[in-house]
Structure 1
Amino acid sequence: MMVTWRNRLIAWGAVMSVSLLPLSVYAQNATPNICLEGASFEAPQIPQQWLELSLQASHCYTFQARAVVINSIDVRTLALSHRIQEGVRQQVVQQLDGPSISVERRSRVGQLAWESTGEGGAFPSLKGWAEHASRFYDIALEEGARVAGRDAVKLRFEPKDHQRYTHEWWLDNTTGLLLKHVLSDSADRILETFQVTQLNEPERYTGEITVDVIPSPPAPEWHATWLPEGFMPQPVASSDGKPHQRLYSDGLATISIFAEPQGSALMPEQGLKSGVHQIGVSSIAVEEHVENDQRWQLVGIGELPPSMLQRIVHSVEFE
């Protein structure tokens, strides 16, 4: 059971890397078709422009690729595909080593990966996301790189608080697609490298796009009372309509917090073992909480230092 869950988490992390960011964002913008924005513009000149292009590219190109993920646990090869049909994206990540695992997710083009206010809206804001990320990370641009046989630029994101992780992105010069992502800790130790090794020529989507206003789902009756500066609540989809999760992002890093009932406070502890765990680049913090004779298990997952994630989970309060 744990092996299956671990492998699925690893594969899902690859989906996040390929799409740059994991969630759906809904922020107001006067332009209804994100893939037509800047379709004929000149190459970006500053880091924020490359950020906007990269997020746009992650939604507006169809492609197939091979990639490798390297961390302290293992090395994995992945098959990636991104298709768009009638404005709906289909992302598929298949693990080619070990157990045969495939992760698929679908979403509409233009429902992007970050929201600054936690409120639903009609269209995404590329500029707003880039501006928010630049408030909490110093961003440096280097030109003249090359990855997977393609000319690229490198963006380095240094956290201004010197605590959260450093990100390095290599973006395709022509499309803005992510070709490589390196994550390092505060001591500049590399935690994980994601790198495309082969990218079939991407094709830009030019069809119609419809982005509907997304109703806000019910919020859980609990929340984190402490978050690192810049982390904002994000909308969360629920398959059964019940609130089980809270999601926070600073534009680059993402935190998911789950609360599951475990029975009476008099019953023995169940579920995952309390403490801090590490799976690849993801930290996992688990805590037991008792509220009105009800035992809860709190689980936080995110690309943050373990001590920071543990502090977030420990701050959860029930309403």
Structure 2
Amino acid sequence: MTRTRGIQWLVLLCLAPLAAPAEEAIDWLRKMDQALNTLNYQGVFVRLRDGQVDPMKVIHRVHDGHAVERLIALDAVGREIISKGEEVVCFFPDSESVVVEKRSGHQPLLGAVPALSDEVLQNYLLSVKTGKSVLNRAVVIVDVTPRDHFRYGYRLWLDERTGLPLISQVRGGQGQIIEQMRFASIEFPDEIPEAAVQSGIDVTGYRWSYPGHQAKQTPGKVEQAWRADNLPAGFVLATYRLNNQPQASQPVVQMVYSDGLASVSVFVEKPGPDEKPQSGPHRMGAANAYTLLVKEHLVTAIGEVPPVTVRDIASSVVTGTTINR
């Protein structure tokens, strides 16, 4: 989004007095996005969610314009995640398994960090202010505040020099912290060796699975399409596809609804004859899910949004008409 277009959005929303702060905040969010994807950095951060503290080491290497990111859990198990190109590889020493999945989008693996799009000013208020130093580095604080109760907000402490988020919080409607990521140490080396972003786990004898690769999108017409009829303001359909899953009698419908910052994925599938699906809400950190049965199909909505949002979207899913793609 250009600077001029951003100001036009604010005028339309009768927020002309806030135009300068909002535009400054957008500039900082763009700088954050660029830092996360184009800089060499490595450090240790702590993720706090559901009362659990998870220390992690991150190594982000960029070489010839290509980024590779490696996360290492600093606990007794030592799980690792490596993101490269269109793939995310998860190493599980406790179960002696490796899972290779297709990457959804190009967001970093840190968590608690929002993505920026052109529609953000329709659904969020943005502001920026100077904050106290973090790790002896000057920072600015960017607040992304939702306009209603259907989405979470963010507070970001961005390094003034690089734009990297040194602290990132997902916040609820009362300002409570839902999830937090905070760096305990960070450095920006000019070069990072390739070996640093390769797994140090001996995977001899491990079981490998490729769930994201086995799910194939069905081309052409989508018969008996599904749709959500009750969407919170600002949410629109961003993706609709059918995935052929192994051992599934019917393709799994996947719909993604987005407001330009937050997104909710909705899955519709026919449960197996021996399955006993549990309806109701589920939660892990900032992610909420809601599951129910609709016309003998299992509908699950999941996303980093408040529980009411996934509940309302899942509860409004109905069968629609054939869609040509």
Quick one: distance in 2 between partners of 1:45 and 1:307? 30
Please give the per-residue CA displacement for 1:50-73, whole angstroms capped at 9, x wherever unaligned: 122112222111221211011233
Task: Say whether the 8 Å CA contact 1:66–1:78 is kept in structure 2.
Answer: yes
Partner residue, 2:259: 250
- 1:107 is the counterpart of 2:116: no
Partner residue, 1:89: 67
Quick one: distance in 2 between partners of 1:186 and 1:71? 17
SS at match of 1:262: coil
- Residue 63 of structure 1 aligns to which amino acid in structure 2? Y
Please give the per-residue CA displacement for 1:193-252, whole angstroms capped at 9, x wherever unaligned: 1111111215599xxxxxxxxxx9859632322322223444589986966422233233
TM-score, normalised via structure 1 length: 0.66
Partner residue, 1:183: 170
- 1:299 is the counterpart of 2:305: no
- 1:158 is the counterpart of 2:145: yes
Q: Which has the larger radius of gyration?
A: 2
SS at match of 2:271: strand
Partner residue, 2:276: 270
Task: Say whether the 8 Å CA contact 2:243–2:252 is kept in structure 1.
Answer: no
Change beyond 3 A, Cα 1:217–1:67: farther
Shift of 1:45: 7.8
User: 1:131-150 residue pairs with structure 2 within 5 A?
Assistant: 131-150=118-137
TM-score, normalised via structure 2 length: 0.65
Change beyond 3 A, Cα 1:316–1:239: closer
- Residue 314 of structure 2 aligns to which amino acid in structure 1? V
Quick one: distance in 1 between partners of 2:128 and 2:266? 33
User: 1:30-41 residue pairs with structure 2 within 5 A?
Assistant: none
**Residues paired across the two proteins, number:** 243
Gaps of 5+ in 2: 2-21, 87-104, 108-114, 193-216, 246-250, 321-325
Quick one: distance in 2 between partners of 1:236 and 1:151? 43
Query: After TM superposition, where is structure 1 displaced by more than 6 Å over at least 4 residues in a row?
Result: 236-242
Task: Say whether the 8 Å CA contact 2:158–2:166 is kept in structure 1.
Answer: yes
Partner residue, 2:318: 317
Quick one: distance in 1 between partners of 2:315 and 2:231? 11
Task: Say whether the 8 Å CA contact 1:60–1:204 is kept in structure 2.
Answer: no
SS at match of 1:91: strand
Change beyond 3 A, Cα 1:259–1:90: farther
Quick one: distance in 1 between partners of 2:318 and 2:191? 46
Task: Say whether the 8 Å CA contact 1:283–1:306 is kept in structure 2.
Answer: yes
1:227 is matched with which residue: 203, 206, 231? 231
- Residue 292 of structure 2 aligns to which amino acid in structure 1? E
Give the RMSD, CA atoms, in angstroms. 3.3
Q: Give identity over the alignment, percent.
A: 26
Shift of 1:85: 3.5
User: 1:161-172 residue pairs with structure 2 within 5 A?
Assistant: 161-172=148-159
Task: Say whether the 8 Å CA contact 2:292–2:299 is kept in structure 1.
Answer: yes
Task: Say whether the 8 Å CA contact 2:125–2:145 is kept in structure 1.
Answer: yes
User: 1:192-211 residue pairs with structure 2 within 5 A?
Assistant: 192-201=179-188, 203=190
